[in-house]
Each structure stands twice: as C-alpha cells, then as structure tokens.
Amino acid sequence: MQQREQRDSDKRRHVRYQLVNMESMASYTNINPTNDNDCMQGSIENMETCAKRRDSDEEEGMREYSIAFLGSCQVGKTSIIQQFLHHNIDNAYTPSTTVKKYHKAVFMDGKIYDLTLRDCPGVTSFPESPLAEFSTYKGYGMHNSQVIVLVYDTSNEDTFNYVRSLKDQILKYKSNPLIVVVGNKQDLAADQRVARTDAQQIVKGWKCPLVFCSAKYNWHIINLFTEILKVIECQADAKKEDAHRYSSHFINFNRCKVS
C-alpha cells in the first residue's frame, strides 16, 4: 500500500515538473472553452500562480483518463491527434497498422487532466469483452478507455455507416460508455456525402456530442477536446450526485428517532 502511494506521489511530481517546464516554454496546453480561437493557448504564468496550481493538484490529485479514437481507415484519426499534440500533420498518408499511444497533460477550468490518447487502427468489430479484446486487439485498450471517440469522414458515407454499426456494438458490450462522434474533413465541403443536418439528427438520438472539424486546417480541434473533457466532467458530476443521494438516504434511514 505504501509503495503504491509512493508511486502515485512520484507520478504527480513528475507530471507537475513537466507542466511547469512547458509553461516556461510557452507551450503549455491551456484549453479555454470560452475562447472561440481554435489555436493553442500558450501562456507563461508567474511563479505564484504555478505554486497555487501545484498545491491544488496536491489536494485534488491528478485526473488520469484514457481516450480511444476509433473509425474506418483514412478518416483522419491520426491527423486529429497530431494537430492537438504538435499543431501539424503529416500530409503523406501512412495507414496505421498498430495502436499508438500518446500522453498529454491538459489544463482546463482550474483542473489538470493527464490524457492517454489511443490511435487505434480500423477494427472489424468492437470486442465483446476485455478478454476478447486481449486475444484479438491486444493493447488497444478500448474497454479500459473512459471515452470512445468515433471519427468519420464527411465526404464518405460508408465511414459514417461504419461508425453507426460500431456505436451499436459499443453500447451492447461496454457498460456506461462515454461516446463523442466526430465528423472530420469539413474542408471537403464540395465533396460531402453525409449532410450536416442528417448527421446531427441521427447522433441526437444517440445522446452524445457531435463535433465537426478539419484536421488538415486545425479547425475545431480544440473544440473537440474541450467537448471530450466536458463529457468526462458531466459523468464525474453525475457520480458525485448519485453518491451524495445514496449517502443522504443512508443517513436518514439510520437516524435515531425519539418518540
């Protein structure tokens, strides 16, 4: 138990060290959901503010989340992640054959999130269980990811149908999944095969966010990750509310009565 607490403490210190150094280089990822500018917000904060953030992190702990990006081939999953991490993409298409994991610390609304982004190659189907995933898609981490991001190409209707099928399988085999749908390649407006209004109407019935973006031009990439973090926070708030409701009921049920 003590060894585990020591490892967690060391990890928090390591991530905080990275954050402070990124701030000093003006490359710290600061997501501001109230800012319409889609560019990364780099800022150098004074030492007092940094110290307060470290103290807050020490009290609340680092929030660690795994996010799996799924979709058909050539829909832009890798490009979306590259734009978020490096503000640039590789224009030469190279199909992903193995899952790639990226780590990024993000600051939003006074909270620090330690994100693991999983760039998953196209899968024929969503595995029925973690055991099935281990045997077929070892290392993908789809069942263990808190958020599933389903990406489709707005100029290719087949990729949207693929996402629809995958969504049904996720709901069937994964308990309480958090899903965010992404319509990429909005820059190909003339070639769009999936109407924006049609996609909005369909995804509305799924009760999950739909974000349109263009990884090529870094358009709405920040909006996408802001939406992902909002979904995470909504679930966290719901769990807190359920826990409070349960504890209140338990206290009232066991309260002594004087007659």
* 253 vs 138, residue with greater confidence: 138
Model pLDDT, residue 227:
95
The pair of structure tokens assigned to 168 is: 């049904």
Asked if residue 71 has pLDDT above 80, the reply is yes
Q: 28-39: per-residue pLDDT in tens?
A: 455 554 443 433
Alpha carbon separation from 156 to 163, 196, 220 (Å, rounded): 12, 13, 20
In order of start, what are the domains of the chain with their CATH numbers? 63-241 (3.40.50.300)
Question: Given this model, what pLDDT does residue 130 score?
Answer: 93
Which two tokens mark 152?
């489709």
Amino acid 258: pLDDT: 45
In the predicted structure, residue 1 carries a pLDDT above the cut 90: no
106 with 32: CB under 8 angstroms?
no
Helix (H) or strand (E) holding 68: strand 63-71
Neighbours of 91 (CB within 10 A): 7
User: Please, what sign has the CA dihedral across residues 216, 217, 218, 223?
Assistant: negative
Structure confidence by residue, pLDDT tens digits, 197-221: 999 999 999 999 999 999 999 999 9
pTM over 0.95: no
CB under 8 Å to 83, separation ≥6 — which residues?
89, 215, 218, 221
